Chain A
Amino acid sequence: AQSVTQPDIHITVSEGASLELRCNYSYGATPYLFWYVQSPGQGLQLLLKYFSGDTLVQGIKGFEAEFKRSQSSFNLRKPSVHWSDAAEYFCAVDITSGGSYIPTFGRGTSLIVHP
């Protein structure tokens, strides 16, 4: 079945430190992958997306993600975390359903940033 796994429920980093959030997917064809961020009490905001081409994708707010087909991964990274990055992060993959494409989300990783 097509799915997304985020193995880390919580990640704690110090402000200024680097960040990597893990995402593994299960999909038979070329996946279309997304990272979303959700601040407390808010909806989801798209950080970046991968369709094809360059496997290193740049997004908003200084985030990037690297698609690695051999590892079925699409990990999110940021070189220096700010306190305002504390939020819930969701990886998603487009799955095909009756001719439509429905984003399917992982359970999320909660990022905690220490001053």
Chain B
Amino acid sequence: DAGVTQSPTHLIKTRGQQVTLRCSPKSGHDTVSWYQQALGQGPQFIFQYYEEEERQRGNFPDRFSGHQFPNYSSELNVNALLLGDSALYLCASSERTGIGTEAFFGQGTRLTVV
């Protein structure tokens, strides 16, 4: 079992550009959540996808958008990048979320905006 895989591992972008990050969930998982982890902080919830729809969203602007494909993999898109978007972006997968559902995390994509 490959677990949760994310690509790319590192990325450098320029302010104003757009970026797409990718996530393949753990086998058997159908729910994908995305988190932003700034340096020295805990992960902040961006949004969650289930059945190809955004189900929950955290306090992030519309510049952050996502998609889930029929095979449950997911993409995170960020438009009009700002310096403050520099962070580690984590993808977590789980079975359909319920109370206490264990989330499995990927290693993350380190995004640097210059």
Interface residues of A (CB under 8 A from B): 32, 36, 41-46, 49, 51, 90, 92, 94, 96-98, 100-108
Contact = CB atoms under 8 A, between A and B. Distances in A.
Given A49-B100, A107-B42, A108-B42, A98 B107 contact: no
A102 B56 contact: yes
Contacts of B104: 46
A102 B105 contact: no
Contact residues of A: prevailing secondary structure: strand
A42 B44 CA distance: 16
Contact residues of B: prevailing secondary structure: loop
Nearest to B96: A100
A42 B100 CA distance: 23
Contact of B43 (A41, A90, A97, A101): A90
Interface of B: 4, 33, 40-45, 48, 55-56, 58, 90, 92, 97-108
Nearest to B91: A43
10 contacts: A32-B99, A41-B107, A42-B107, A46-B102, A94-B99, A98-B56, A100-B48, A101-B100, A102-B58, A104-B45
A41 B39 CA distance: 11
A101 B42 contact: no
Contact of B103 (A51, A97, A103): A103
Contact of A90 (B42, B48, B98): B42
A32 B97 contact: no
A43 B105 contact: yes
A78 B56 CA distance: 35
Contact of B41 (A43, A46, A97, A107): A107
A43 B103 contact: no
